[in-house]
Amino acid sequence: MNDVDNEVISRDIVLLDIICHINADNIADIEFLWDVWYNMTLTRPHYDRLKVTLKRLLDDTTNSARRWSFGDHVTEQQAGISFSQRLFTLHG
């Protein structure tokens, strides 16, 4: 990715992670990706599924082979903060 805004980078990572975990032949998976990418509100099932995605991104022990790499440690910290804030907002 070629961006300097940490919020945009973290959003891109969320979308890329969703893409890595969906079945492109499953319409429900495509609808979930579309809702997260485009819509301002989520259905309850998509809301719950997004929380799982954010928790997975925050958990260093899962998907260790596919762990995201950042150009520097500060960007990695900022992306983690953004994931945490988004997850907190979803719990709120």
Could you give the C-alpha distances from 46 to 4, 32, 40, 68, 85, in angstroms and in order? Answer: 28, 6, 12, 23, 18
Query: pLDDT per residue over 38-72, tens digit each?
Result: 987 889 999 999 989 888 887 765 554 346 666 67
CA 81 to chain CA centroid, Å, is 12
- Cα separation, 22 vs 55, whole angstroms: 16
* pLDDT beyond 60 at 79: yes
pTM metric for this prediction: 0.72
Parse the chain into domains and list their residue ranges: 6-59+67-91
Q: Give the Cα separation of 72 and 5 in Å (integer).
A: 13
Residues 12 and 3: beta-carbon distance below 8 Å = yes
